[in-house]
Structure 1
Amino acid sequence: MAEDYNFDEIKEKIIENLKKVFDPEIPVNVYDLGLIYEINLSIKDDILDCVIMMTLTSPACPVAGTIMEQVRLVTLAVPEVEAAKVHITFSPRWTNEMVSEEGKEIMAVSGAVI
């Protein structure tokens, strides 16, 4: 039942897991890079479903499929989540202004440039 789920807590668990997924060329996780646009939770047929809307740093990203699958798998690793889908959008297009302050600090320390 929907009332049995605390969606805010579940989203926090998902975000914690998303911070374990990295673009192989940038030493910052996909969440702090600002690649995750939406985390939508819903109940469908008594199953907690999660749909993540995300983007990539480039439409030509050679590891897009791998990153999407990693995002899906770490989302499913949250015990409450029983189904997960990941959708890619390029609207709005990603810019380096979307990187979190933590992500910017990591990049500065590592010498990474976007």
Structure 2
Amino acid sequence: MKTFNKDEINQKVIEKLKTIQDLELPINIFDLGIIYKTNVENSDNKVQVNIEMTLIDSRCNSTKSFTDEIISTVQSINEVDICTIKFVFTPKWEITMISPEGLEQLRNANPNKKD
């Protein structure tokens, strides 16, 4: 059976997710708070990353290309063989899910905006 450090790979996944910008906002998808869960497991002697995420707007027409980008980015991690994405809509995304780092990204994208 393939050995791997689950926590180390999960951290690499998060770092990769932070390189993917949201389609509409100047913020990465992890700090935006649309990634609800990442899980690393050994499945049939392959390292599989399962991601649960949501969309801010469920009417988004770019879901397929966005999903493909996430899968491709995560699978670029040497240890990762498979990445799956499951869209969930509970809890419903709200602005309070943006991380402090994400709020800073938004402020930096609009430096004239006052708090």
TM-score, with length taken from structure 1: 0.90
Count of aligned residue pairs for this structure pair? 112
Do the aligned partners of 1:36 and 1:52 also contact (CA within 8 Å) in 2? yes
Corresponding residue SS for 1:27: coil
The one-letter amino acid paired with 1:89 is V
Corresponding residue SS for 1:56: coil
The one-letter amino acid paired with 1:68 is T
The aligned counterpart of 1:29 is 28
Superposition CA RMSD, Å: 1.7
Matches within 5 A, 1:76-91: 76-91=75-90
**How far did 1:96 drift?**
0.7
Percentage of identical aligned residues: 32
**Residue segments in structure 1 that go unaligned for 5+ positions in a row:** none
**How far did 1:25 drift?**
1.1
Matches within 5 A, 1:1-114: 1=1, 4-111=3-110
Q: Which moved more, 1:65-74 or 1:75-84?
A: 65-74
Do the aligned partners of 1:35 and 1:94 also contact (CA within 8 Å) in 2? yes
In 1, the alpha carbon distance for the partners of 2:108 and 2:46 equals 42
Do the aligned partners of 1:37 and 1:53 also contact (CA within 8 Å) in 2? yes
Per-residue CA deviations over 1:1-53 (Å, capped at 9, x if unaligned) read: 35x21111101111111111111210000000001111111111111111111
In 2, the alpha carbon distance for the partners of 1:24 and 1:17 equals 16
Moved over 6 A (4+): none
